[in-house]
Structure 1
Amino acid sequence: MYSRDVVDETFRLKALGLTDKAISTQCGVSVQAIRHWRYGNRRAPATEARRQNRTVYCPRCHDARLDNKAYAYLLGLYLGDGHITTSRRGVYVLWVFCDNKYPGLMDLCASAMEAVFPVGTFRVSRNGCTSVKAASKHWPCLFPQHGKGHKHSRPIVLASWQQKVVDDHPEPFIRGLVHSDGCRILNRIRKKGRNEYYEYPRYHFSNTSSDIVHLFTTALDRLNIPWKSHTRVRPPFQDQTIISVSKKAAVARMDAFVGPKY
């Protein structure tokens, strides 16, 4: 015998687009019980209105609270290494690809997804990377940049409410972009005329979308962090723009809220 709270939670998760198997794992309930509650006559959700109103969990369709800091970070991850797909049932899946060398970033990504939207996250192992994903019918509400084709092949412009979030929280936004398409490295330089080297840290961010690069540099400018850019020619692929932050004070400022990947 399961409590009413458990039953209602399974209906809530189904309304968000989770599969029966995912709900079973998250709630500790058998798939057969979940399907019986939905299609049988043993139990039903607390109210029919609650079952039908699937927008109450979406900050854009309803008045649900949005964790702006977590969203700014997740937006950076999405613009760098994320995309959204859709199933036959109209359920959208947000995917963010993480290098297997950085398991800590997978945890940060999953935490951000769950903080932004009350959904369960899943991980799919691939060759050299892991996809952190979550399903919901409302991901396009939070990421209106979703569309056909690669991001560098279409305009990437933030909605006014997204721009306000980024303006108010540029640090987690920059962190998300660096964690997806950037890195912190040690630059090794040989001293002129001598067989000696010196090293200094610097940050790199690279992307083929000029719009995404502009969003990154605008956020840096907002924090008064100096940067330089150059283009990497990658025939036959799209050229990449590389943004570097190398001045000592600027790197220290970035270290305060980004730091190395882990």
Structure 2
Amino acid sequence: MEQASWVPASVDLDRPSTARMYDYYLGGSHNFAVDREAAKAVEHVFPGMSGAARSLRTFLRRSVRYLLDQGIDQFLDLGSGIPTVGNVHEIAQAANPAARVVYVDIEPVAVAHSTAILSANPLATAIQADLRDPASVLENEDVRRLLDFDRPIGVLMVAVLHFVPDSDDPHGAIARYRDALVPGSFLAISHATVEGVQVDAEQDTARVQDVYKRTESPLIFRDRAEVAKLFDGFEVVEPGVVPLSEWRRDSDDAYTSAYVGVGRKV
């Protein structure tokens, strides 16, 4: 298959990518046939995945606006994915033109497209790094150039930690980011769950996980207690760790198969 000019040479066009599947769910154009095939296989089991992706996007918007209201003007978006309408820099800089944003993703297409979009924006950038390796993020020159770690920062982990298994120690990675932040910083998380979802918890969940095993990031569902544990060291703000539709709802969004929350470092 001949690669388009915007596709980095390192991209494997024969293997689906979670970032590109998410782009497909959101109606984006930076995905390939292999991604669409995998995404449709998930939709066959869980109809409405496109709506679910859009709902997760609404939490991104609501959480960024909440952090702006708390005085946060710099953001570290970990596992940011392929940029689409309503990305963090658009939301933040519309409210505060001086807001700074660093996007971090391991997916080459996500970083290449983000870099192109941000080429004329001196207050936002994208780097290719693995959020599971905090040192590669926190010691990156562009991260240090744009973000002032002596001031509060909003760290975003939206729709990404369900791709980090316990064997990769997500708690340890989050602790490393937490320790790099000053008090008054925030952490926002959204995470997939099957609690309360009307599916065959054993058969259907396994079928979806089998699809994601074809990607570089197997899918891990966690329950409410497990998601709450990810906020260790943070004071979770009201209304707590709740289904997505219950977190400062500002629309008719009724999607519930994700837990979300925002925590403040004290």
TM-score, scaled relative to structure 2: 0.25
Structure with the greater alpha carbon radius of gyration: 1
Structure 1 or 2: larger strand share? 1
With a CA cutoff of 8 Å and minimum separation of 6, indicate the structure with the bigger relative contact order: 2
